[in-house]
């Protein structure tokens, strides 16, 4: 048979790897709306500015509700918009029941949730309660004297006992999580910046405050909670010395400490169980067992595990594709019977999807963006998709530290410089991986500042907005944006893409990620070329291949059992 385009049905032999026919197992999925959700994450500072101060705001998001609806997504997660001094762009909360004025008012918030609900879109609140801001009234009180009633809301170490055992801080310019405070001659603990003191979860009063805050927002109609940095909330408050050489092992020694599950169970009782809400925490423990312990339904803690193994694979020097497949495959296998995962490759703490996992060169940006979105929307798990990835937004090319706004970048620079690190390498790594890459303003059209703001944007708009923007994408039926919408629609129309069993094919293929999804008698084949060259795959175990359900090229070459894919080609076939 000569090469031909799949407009015609072709048949391939039905043989299993072992040569035996597989027993058909009827899968009765344990359905839930949050498993079927498609989450769109919005960084409010960067989405749309309605009042010209250069900062995105709630009214701006309201202006774009029809755009959000047009994507087909069913849930919006908004990064924090509470009152905050903004040391860490809102992840330092000074009042959990107030809106930061630059984002708008409580009326704007209510209007936003109403507007989303009118469009059948749910809302996820980001709850930042591993720590507060040092400007929160609780902390102001706590630091004022050792016998203040709020003292035990935080972790303190009296200086007369000497310096506490070392704890690492992710954002501190010296990497030290203990900050000396002269007012009470004590140190306080901050795993993030020194303006983000960690809350003491052992204190029942703290926990009650948090449940009260969560209920306040649930009563306002939020449909989901994302718990920021929550795996670090429980601490061994005797603060023992960690083994030498492992003091900075953030996952091993800082995450998932005793008490965490008690707190989650209590939170579930006090909040989640009283509302129809989705719950997800950032981080999924240190291994599969711990991930299950967070989300298995009989434990009554959280719903969705949000694990970093995959997203952490991308490095400035590239990433191992076989490792990538292996990680997704293992996680899927571990959660195939119980528990539920999120699927994501980008968020506000990562550089841009296409720049890290695809290819942002002019030649391949479009194909590789479509390929990655096809992947995210065809895996088992709730997809969390990040604003701007639907139009293939790329990293921004900052070369001077003065251009960065992120506290992690700025303090990381200070720390590296003080340690005599190779600063050329530091800057080039930052250029690839900085969180600011993923926070540049949304590119709405080709006009000045991409129509994000009429003022001066808080973070520069990427110059490439002249060609990469929503307006241009909307007018081209073959754009990344239209592919994204098609893929969202496809997921919603084919339950197999949500609940179907996942099976990796041709694991050793160095270029192509191939898998099937099967739900009872529905089966689809997903083929994704992760390279910038043509590649092919031999598939002998597949049944009849029909017309592609989606393809980011107009054609595909099939030659008997061999399927040829173009650079970054992504295609899903329905199998008979």
User: Which residues contribute to the site for ligand GLC (CB under 6 A)?
Assistant: 88, 91, 128, 192, 228-229, 282, 348-349
Tokens at residue 373, please? 């979105």
Closer to ligand GLC by Cβ: residue 248 or 492:
248
* Spatial distance between the Cα atoms of 352 and 389, rounded to a whole number of angstroms: 7
Burial category of 559 from C-beta neighbours within 10 Å (exposed 0-12, middle 13-18, buried 19 and up): middle
In whole angstroms, the minimum distance from the beta carbon of 228 to ligand GLC comes to 5
Closer to ligand GLC by Cβ: residue 128 or 233:
128
HEC per residue, 323-364: HHHHHHHHHHHHCCCCCCEEECCCCCCCCCHHHHHCCCCCCC
50: CB partners within 8 A, 6+ apart: 57, 59, 60, 62, 63
Closer to ligand GLC by Cβ: residue 130 or 551:
130
- Other Cβ atoms less than 10 A from the Cβ of 497: the count is 23
Active site residue 228: yes
Closer to ligand GLC by Cβ: residue 143 or 190:
190
8 A C-beta contact, residue 281 and residue 214: no
Q: Where are the alpha helices (DSSP H) in 6-144?
A: 33-36, 58-63, 65-71, 106-118, 137-144
Q: What is the Cα gyration radius of the chain?
A: 24
In whole angstroms, the minimum distance from the beta carbon of 408 to ligand GLC comes to 7
Tokens at residue 487, please? 């893929």
Closer to ligand GLC by Cβ: residue 56 or 500:
56
Residue 287 is classified by DSSP as: S
In whole angstroms, the minimum distance from the beta carbon of 406 to ligand GLC comes to 8
The single residue of 92, 108, 172, 282 carrying the catalytic annotation is: 282
254: CB partners within 8 A, 6+ apart: 167, 168, 191, 232
Nearest to 85 by CA among 74, 93, 77: 93
In whole angstroms, the minimum distance from the beta carbon of 212 to ligand GLC comes to 20
Closer to ligand GLC by Cβ: residue 283 or 383:
283
Pairing between strand 82-83 and 178-181? unpaired
In whole angstroms, the minimum distance from the beta carbon of 191 to ligand GLC comes to 8
The single residue of 228, 332, 436, 501 carrying the catalytic annotation is: 228
* Spatial distance between the Cα atoms of 180 and 178, rounded to a whole number of angstroms: 6
In whole angstroms, the minimum distance from the beta carbon of 561 to ligand GLC comes to 45
Closer to ligand GLC by Cβ: residue 283 or 392:
283
* Spatial distance between the Cα atoms of 129 and 229, rounded to a whole number of angstroms: 8
In whole angstroms, the minimum distance from the beta carbon of 560 to ligand GLC comes to 48
Pairing between strand 304-306 and 278-282? parallel
Longest dimension (CA), the chain: 85
Closer to ligand GLC by Cβ: residue 184 or 350:
350
Strand partners for 168: 176
In whole angstroms, the minimum distance from the beta carbon of 283 to ligand GLC comes to 8
* Spatial distance between the Cα atoms of 503 and 574, rounded to a whole number of angstroms: 15
Closer to ligand GLC by Cβ: residue 282 or 389:
282
Strands (E), 79-197: 82-83, 95-99, 122-127, 156-158, 178-181, 186-189
In whole angstroms, the minimum distance from the beta carbon of 554 to ligand GLC comes to 39
Catalytic residues: 228, 282
């Amino acid at each position: 048979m000569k090469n031909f385009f799949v407009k015609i049905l072709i048949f391939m032999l039905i043989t299993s790897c072992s040569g035996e026919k597989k027993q058909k197992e009827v899968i009765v999925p344990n359905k839930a709306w949050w498993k079927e959700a498609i989450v769109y994450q919005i960084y409010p500072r960067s989405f749309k500015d309605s009042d010209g101060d250069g900062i995105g705001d709630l009214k701006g998001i309201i202006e774009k509700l029809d755009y959000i609806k047009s994507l087909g997504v069913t849930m919006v997660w908004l990064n924090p918009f509470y009152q905050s001094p903004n040391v860490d762009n809102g992840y330092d909360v000074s009042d959990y029941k107030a809106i930061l004025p630059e984002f708008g008012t409580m009326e704007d918030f209510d209007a936003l949730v109403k507007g989303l609900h009118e469009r059948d879109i749910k809302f996820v609140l980001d709850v930042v309660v591993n720590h507060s801001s040092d400007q929160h009234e609780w902390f102001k009180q706590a630091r004022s004297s050792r016998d203040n009633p709020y003292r035990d809301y935080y972790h303190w170490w009296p200086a007369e006992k000497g310096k506490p055992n070392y704890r690492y801080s992710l954002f501190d310019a010296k990497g030290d999580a203990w900050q000396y405070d002269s007012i009470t001659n004590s140190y306080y603990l901050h795993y993030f910046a020194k303006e983000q003191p960690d809350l003491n979860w052992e204190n029942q009063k703290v926990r009650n405050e948090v449940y009260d805050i969560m209920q306040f927002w649930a009563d306002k109609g939020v449909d989901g909670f994302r718990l920021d940095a929550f795996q670090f909330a429980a601490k061994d408050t005797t603060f023992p010395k960690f083994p030498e050489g492992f003091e900075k092992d953030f996952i091993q020694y800082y995450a998932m400490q005793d008490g965490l599950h008690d707190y989650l169970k209590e939170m579930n009782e006090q909040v989640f169980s009283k509302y129809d809400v989705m719950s997800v925490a950032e981080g999924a423990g240190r291994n599969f067992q711990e991930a299950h312990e967070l989300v298995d339904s009989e434990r009554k803690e959280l719903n969705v595990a949000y694990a970093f193994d995959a997203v952490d694979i991308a490095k400035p020097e590239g990433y191992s594709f076989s490792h990538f497949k292996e990680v997704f495959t293992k996680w899927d296998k571990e959660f195939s019977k119980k528990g539920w995962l999120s699927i994501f490759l980008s968020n506000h703490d990562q550089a841009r999807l296409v720049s890290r996992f695809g290819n942002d060169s002019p030649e391949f940006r479009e194909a590789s963006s479509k390929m990655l979105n096809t992947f995210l929307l065809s895996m088992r798990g709730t997809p969390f998709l990040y604003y701007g990835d639907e139009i293939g937004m790329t990293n921004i090319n900052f070369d001077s530290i003065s251009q960065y706004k992120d506290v992690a970048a700025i303090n990381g620079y200070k720390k590296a410089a003080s340690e005599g690190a190779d600063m050329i390498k530091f800057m080039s790594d930052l250029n690839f991986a900085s969180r600011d890459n993923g926070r540049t303003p949304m590119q709405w059209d080709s006009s000045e500042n991409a129509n994000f703001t009429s003022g001066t944007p808080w973070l520069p708009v990427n110059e490439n907005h002249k060609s990469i923007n929503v307006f241009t994408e909307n007018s081209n039926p073959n754009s990344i944006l239209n592919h994204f919408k098609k893929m969202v629609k496809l997921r919603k129309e084919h339950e197999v893409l949500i609940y179907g069993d996942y099976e990796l094919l041709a694991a050793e293929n160095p270029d192509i990620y191939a898998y099937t999804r099967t739900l009872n008698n529905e089966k689809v084949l997903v083929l994704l070329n992760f390279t910038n060259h043509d590649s092919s795959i031999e598939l002998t175990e597949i049944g009849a291949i029909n017309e592609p359900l989606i393809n980011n090229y107009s054609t595909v070459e099939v030659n008997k059992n061999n399927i040829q894919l173009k650079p970054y080609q992504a295609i899903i076939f329905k199998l008979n």
